[in-house]
Amino acid sequence: MSIIEDIRTKFEALMPYMDEKLRRLWSGAEAVSLGKEGIKTVAFATGLSSKTIKRGIQELQVPIVQDDNQNQRRSSTKIHRKVRKPGGGRKSLSQNDHTLIQDLEKLIAPATRGDPSSPLLWTSKSTAKLAKW
């Protein structure tokens, strides 16, 4: 088995259990252990971006200290602690503009071809023409 196959196998086995932060840290640790071409190899094997892997390496290089309660933590406040929640990102246009679908249907109605009961219709109007209206 090649190094890439080994990394891919480990990544696929762990992926369901890792959040965004743990993926960064694991991929960074794998890249460091591989040496010179580590970032490129891990990126190819996992599909993660090299930027993500580099960020994981940076986070691993922050020293661990003990706080007043004897808990171990990373000493820098620059560490990205946020883990994204489901549903993040920009809302769809139809959620922001409740009349958008109806307005588009009115615009394409005269130029629509096909079975009206079919979910797929054909129109002769381009998106550029529709955007002008």
pLDDT one-digit tens code per residue, 9-55: 999 999 999 988 899 999 999 999 999 999 999 999 999 999 999 99
DSSP secondary structure of 115-130: -TTSS--EES--HHHH
Which has more confidence, 115 or 21?
A: 21
How does pLDDT run across 64-109, given as a tens digit for each residue? Answer: 666 666 666 665 555 556 677 777 788 888 888 888 888 877 777 7
| 21 Cβ neighbours under 8 A, 6+ residues apart | 59, 80, 81, 83
Q: Is 0.85 topped by the overall pTM?
A: no
CA distance 17 to 118: 42
| 104 Cβ neighbours under 8 A, 6+ residues apart | 130
Give the pLDDT confidence score for residue 45 in this predicted structure.
95
Q: Within 10 Å of residue 66's Cβ, how many Cβ atoms?
A: 10
Unique residue bearing structure tokens 């381009």: 126
Unique residue bearing structure tokens 């002769």: 124
Task: Show me where the domains of the chain are located.
Answer: 3-74, 93-132
